[in-house]
Amino acid sequence: MTDPIIEASKVGFTYRGGKPVLNDVDLAVHPGQNVALVGESGAGKTTLLRLLLGLASPTDGTIRFDGTPLTRTRLRDYRRAVQAVFQDPYSSLDPRHRIGRIVAEPLRGLGLGTDPAKVAAALEAVGLPADTATRYPHEFSGGQRQRIAIARAIVGNPRLLLADEPVSALDLTTRVRIVDLLGSLCADRGLTILLVSHDLGVVAELCQHTAVLEHGRLVEQGPTSQVLGEPSHPYTRRLLESVPRLPQ
Amino acid sequence: MSLLTVAGLTVRDQAGRALVDDVSFAVAAGDRAGLIGESGSGKSLTALAVTGLLPPGLTATGEVRLDGVDMIRAPEKHRTATRGPVAAIVFQEPLTALDPLMTAGRQIAGPLRRLHRLRGAGLRAAVNDALDEVRLTDTDRIANSYPHQLSGGQRQRVAIAMALACRPRLLIADEPTTALDVTVQAEILDLLDRLVETRGTALLFITHDLPVAARVTRDTHVMRNGQIVESGPIADVIAHPSHPYTKTLVESARRFDAALERTARD
C-alpha cells in the first residue's frame, strides 16, 4: 500500500484539567482510500479532527504528515495538502464577504496568488454558476452553501479533505447530491476524504475504510464492508441496528 | 368527528405570500399521522397554526378544529385552555425548548400544578411518575438538574415527560430526534411508540426523515412548498409513490439503505 498522507500513532489528548478525551488512537489515511470516522456526540471525533488539522497538538503520541511529524513550521505545506469542510454551512461562510473572496481565501493565505480563474474553476467543479462569485452567502440555500465551502476547500488542489459531518445539516435529497459531488471529486481530482459522520449510509456510500470511535478509543477499524457488514464490536452493532431504514 | 381537523389551512406572511397553501388533513383519536417534508415545506408552520402558536406577522385562514375548538378564530383564552389538556408539542431542540433557569422537575411540575391542581407530595409523586414513564429512573437527580446538566437524549425525555404529564389526547412531535445521535434516536422513537400505544394518544409526527416517519407513523402527508403533494398509508406511499417529489424522496432514502445493504453482502 502507498504511504499514508496523514497518520496518527498512539494519539492521546486531554483538555487542561480534564479527563482524557482520546486514548491510544492509531489511524492512517492512504491516498485514494476514503476513511470514515464514526461515533456519537462526545466520542472525540471533533477533537481528533482538530488534532489532524493541526489546530491543537496531541498530549500523547504523534501525528505524521507524509511520514514526518507535523510541526508548526510545516503547517503551511500541510494546509496546501489538507483542507477542511465543516458541518454547518450557515456559520462557516463569512456573511460580509462575497463568495469570490471566500473561495479565494486559501489561495491568499497560502501565497498561491488570487487568480480569479482558479476560483471560477473551483465553483464550476462544485456545480455552481460563475456569477456565484459576485454574490453573498445569504443568497444561497444550505446545499449551495455547502458547495461553496467545498469549492473553498478544493481551490488550492489539496490531496486530502477533512470533512466534519458535511451533509448532516442538509435535507435528504440535497444530501444525495452533495455525496455525489464528493464522490466525483475523489474520482476526477484524486482527492481523498476523511469523513467524520454518524450517518452510516453516507459512510457506506463514500468510504472504503471505517474506524469506530467510542469514548475516545477506536473500538474497531477496517474495510467498510467488514466493519459495517460484519461488525465485531457490540457498539458498532448497536449503531447499525439503530439506523432507521425504509420498509422493503 | 376527528380529534384534529385541518381544512384549507393557508398561512401567509406580511407580504401575502402563502407559506402553507390550502392544506387539509385529519387526525382521529389514537391515530398516528406524519407530515413529511424538507426545509421550507411548511410542515412546522402547519404544526404551529394547528396549536394557535403562529409567530406575529403570520396569519392563518381556513379551518383548524382541535377537539371542536376553532384554533384560528377562537379567543386566546379558549385556545390556551385547549393546548395542554388536548394537544402538547415536543420540539426539535430540547436545549432551547426547556427553560435554562429552571430545574427539570419544576418544568414538569408546571403543567401538573396548573391543570391538575396538584401541590406538595402529590405533585412530587406525579413528577416522579412522569420521569419514570420516560425511563429517567434516576428521578431525584434528573428532577434537580438544570437542562445544561443533562445529555441531549435526557433533555428530550424531559420535554416528552412535560408534554405527556397532563395526558394530552394529541402529541405533536416536531423533528423530536433530529438533533440526537442515532442510538439515542432509536431509544426515543421506541419510547414515543410505546407511550402513544399504551395511552391511545394520537400522534402528529413531523419530520424530514422518511425512514424515521416509516418507523412511527401510519398515515402520512408529504409536503412541499407549503402544499400537501401526496397522502396515504406510509407503507403504500413508500412502496408506490405517485408524486415525482415523493419518488425522489424515496429514491434518496433507498440510496443510502442500499449502500449499507451492499456492505452486508460483500
Q: What ipTM was predicted for this assembly?
A: 0.83
> What cell numbers appear for A14 in the block?
486531554
Q: Do A244 and B209 touch (CB under 8 A)?
A: yes
Assess B184–A contact: CB distance below 8 Å, yes or no. yes
Assess A68–B contact: CB distance below 8 Å, yes or no. no
Interatomic CA distance for residues A33 and B159, integer angstroms = 43
Interatomic CA distance for residues A58 and A48, integer angstroms = 9
* Closest CB from A176, A244, A247 relative to B255: A176
Length of chain A: 248
Assess B209–A contact: CB distance below 8 Å, yes or no. yes
If one counts the domains in chain B, the total is 1
Question: Chain B partners of A202 at a C-beta cutoff of 8 Å?
Answer: 256, 259
Assess A225–B contact: CB distance below 8 Å, yes or no. yes
Q: Which pLDDT score is estimated for A111?
A: 85
B145/chain A closest Cα distance in angstroms: 20
Low-confidence ranges of chain A (pLDDT < 50): none
CA distances from B60 to B5, B36, B71, B242 (A): 15, 20, 10, 29
Question: Chain B partners of A142 at a C-beta cutoff of 8 Å?
Answer: 39
Length of chain B: 266
Low-confidence ranges of chain B (pLDDT < 70): 266
Interatomic CA distance for residues B80 and B244, integer angstroms = 39
Nearest to A217 by CA among A7, A11, A6: A11
Question: From the candidates A171, A227, A237, which should be mutated to test the interface with B, based on the most B CB atoms within 10 A?
Answer: A171
Assess A234–B contact: CB distance below 8 Å, yes or no. no
Assess A228–B contact: CB distance below 8 Å, yes or no. yes
Q: Report the CATH number at residue B50.
A: 3.40.50.300
Q: Do B260 and A200 touch (CB under 8 A)?
A: yes
Nearest to B234 by CA among A201, A246, A175, A174: A246
In B, minimum Cα distance to A238 occurs at B183
Q: Which domain range does residue B108 map to?
A: 4-265
Interatomic CA distance for residues B59 and B11, integer angstroms = 6
Q: Which pLDDT score is estimated for B266?
A: 65
- The model's pLDDT over B71-109, given as tens digits with 9 standing for 90+, comes to 999 998 999 888 888 999 998 887 788 999 999 999 999
Q: Do A225 and B266 touch (CB under 8 A)?
A: yes
Residue carrying the nine cell digits 488534532: A51
Assess A116–B contact: CB distance below 8 Å, yes or no. no
Helix (H) or strand (E) holding B45: helix B43-50
Question: Chain B partners of A238 at a C-beta cutoff of 8 Å?
Answer: 183
Q: Which pLDDT score is estimated for A1?
A: 66
User: Which A residues, 135 through 154, put their C-beta within 8 Å of a C-beta on chain B?
Assistant: 142
Assess A26–B contact: CB distance below 8 Å, yes or no. no
Q: What is the 3-state secondary structure (H, E, C) of chain A?
A: CCCCCEEEEEEEEECCCCCEEEEEEEEEECCCCCEEEECCCCCCHHHHHHHHCCCCCCCEEEEEECCEECCHHHHHHHHHHEEEECCCCCCCCCCCCCHHHHHHHHHHHCCCCCCHHHHHHHHHHCCCCHHHHHCCHHHCCHHHHHHHHHHHHHCCCCCEEEEECCCCCCCHHHHHHHHHHHHHHHHHHCCEEEEEECCHHHHHHHCCEEEEEECCEEEEEEEHHHHHHCCCCHHHHHHHHHCCCCCC
Assess B215–A contact: CB distance below 8 Å, yes or no. yes
Q: Which pLDDT score is estimated for B258?
A: 93
Q: Which pLDDT score is estimated for B80?
A: 87
Q: Which pLDDT score is estimated for A40?
A: 85
Burial of A248 (0-12, 13-18, 19+ CB in 10 A): exposed
Query: Model-level pTM?
Result: 0.87
Q: What is the 3-state secondary structure (H, E, C) of A96-111?
A: CCCHHHHHHHHHHHCC
| CA atoms within a 13 Å half-sphere pointing along the CA-CB vector of A197 | 28
Which domains can be identified in chain A, with CATH numbers? 6-242 (3.40.50.300)
Q: Give yes or no for a contact between A206 and B171, defined as CB atoms under 8 angstroms apart.
A: no
Interatomic CA distance for residues B221 and A175, integer angstroms = 22
Q: Which pLDDT score is estimated for A109?
A: 87
Paired with B36 in beta bridges are B207, B222
- The model's pLDDT over A105-162, given as tens digits with 9 standing for 90+, comes to 999 988 888 788 999 999 999 999 989 999 999 999 888 999 999 999 999 999 999 9
Paired with B231 in beta bridges are B221
> What cell numbers appear for A200 in the block?
452510516
| CA atoms within a 13 Å half-sphere pointing along the CA-CB vector of B234 | 23
